[in-house]
């Protein structure tokens, strides 16, 4: 078939022209033949590796290892020597004496501890009362120490306080609180006045409180405004109304 593509037969391929590598292009190392000559590596300096002096490293490591080994050997030798000396010193007679002394010391310690326990008061034992009844507390402490002017109008009080149930309850509460707080030598009395006395006494002295019906009383027995700083009025209750709780009750009662 005739055409304009040249005279070459149709079954012949096109021959590629050889080309040269540009400067800077290098062949792949994997393409290097086995028999090709490789560049020589520089010779390694004897006794050094990667610039490190092997002898110097060995010297630095050897010194601590030798010291540790020597200390271990010395420690073992000293322990053996001490054990031998102790075994020699602790003959049967010495051991027997030590056991006897230990037994004596233990016996004394136990005896002292038991004696101390005998001397201790039972933890649940209540302390003895200072005042044996609310009447004794009112008579001996309250009316003498809590002094206020009582005129029977602006402030009231009843000499026969034991005839007024609410007053008795409040005064009994004051007494028992005082018995408890007196055992506190630091702030006990301060707490008693602040939290108990001031509260209950302000109610009792109020003209609208428990003693409202008392008034001035016959002969102004319920007042003390005729004398400055006088004690609160007091009349003793019937005998036996407030027995002394500190005394042992009679047998059979």
pLDDT string in tens for the chain (253-residue length): 455 545 555 555 555 555 555 555 555 656 656 666 666 656 666 777 767 877 877 778 887 888 888 888 898 888 888 777 777 777 777 777 878 888 888 888 988 888 887 776 666 678 899 999 999 999 999 999 999 999 999 999 999 999 999 999 999 999 999 999 999 999 999 999 999 999 999 999 999 999 999 999 999 999 999 988 999 999 999 999 999 999 866 555 4
Would you list the domain boundaries of the chain?
A: 54-119, 134-220
Report pLDDT for 188. 97
**pLDDT score at 126:** 80
pTM across the whole model:
0.52
Q: What is the pLDDT of residue 125?
A: 77
Residue 13: per-residue pLDDT:
56
pLDDT of amino acid 99: 83
The pLDDT value recorded for residue 253 is 46
Cβ contacts of 188 within 8 Å, gap of 6 or more: 181, 182
Q: What is the pLDDT of residue 159?
A: 98
Say what the pLDDT of residue 78 is.
85
pLDDT for the residue numbered 43: 66
- pLDDT at residue 122, as a whole number: 61
């Amino acid at each position: 078939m005739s055409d304009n593509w040249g005279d070459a037969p149709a079954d012949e391929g096109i021959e590629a022209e050889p080309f040269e590598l540009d400067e800077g292009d290098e062949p792949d190392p994997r393409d290097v033949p086995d028999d090709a000559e490789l560049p020589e590596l520089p010779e390694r300096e004897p006794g050094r590796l990667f610039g490190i002096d092997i002898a110097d490293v060995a010297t630095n490591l050897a010194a601590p290892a030798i010291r540790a080994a020597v200390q271990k050997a010395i420690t073992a030798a000293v322990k053996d020597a001490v054990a031998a000396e102790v075994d020699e010193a602790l003959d049967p007679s010495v051991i027997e004496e030590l056991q006897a002394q230990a037994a004596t010391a233990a016996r004394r310690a136990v005896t002292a501890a038991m004696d101390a326990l005998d001397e201790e008061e039972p933890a649940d034992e209540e302390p003895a009362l200072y005042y044996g009844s609310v009447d004794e507390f009112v008579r001996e402490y309250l009316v003498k120490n809590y002094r206020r002017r009582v005129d029977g109008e602006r402030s009231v009080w009843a000499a026969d306080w034991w005839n007024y149930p609410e007053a008795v309850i409040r005064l009994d509460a004051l007494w028992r609180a005082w018995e408890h707080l007196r055992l506190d030598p630091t702030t006990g009395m301060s707490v008693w006045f602040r939290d108990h006395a001031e509260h209950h006494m302000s109610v009792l002295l109020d003209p609208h409180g428990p003693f409202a019906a008392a008034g001035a009383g016959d002969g102004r027995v319920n007042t003390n405004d005729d004398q400055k700083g006088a004690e609160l009025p007091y009349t003793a209750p019937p005998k036996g109304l407030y027995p002394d709780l500190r005394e042992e009750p009679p047998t059979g009662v």
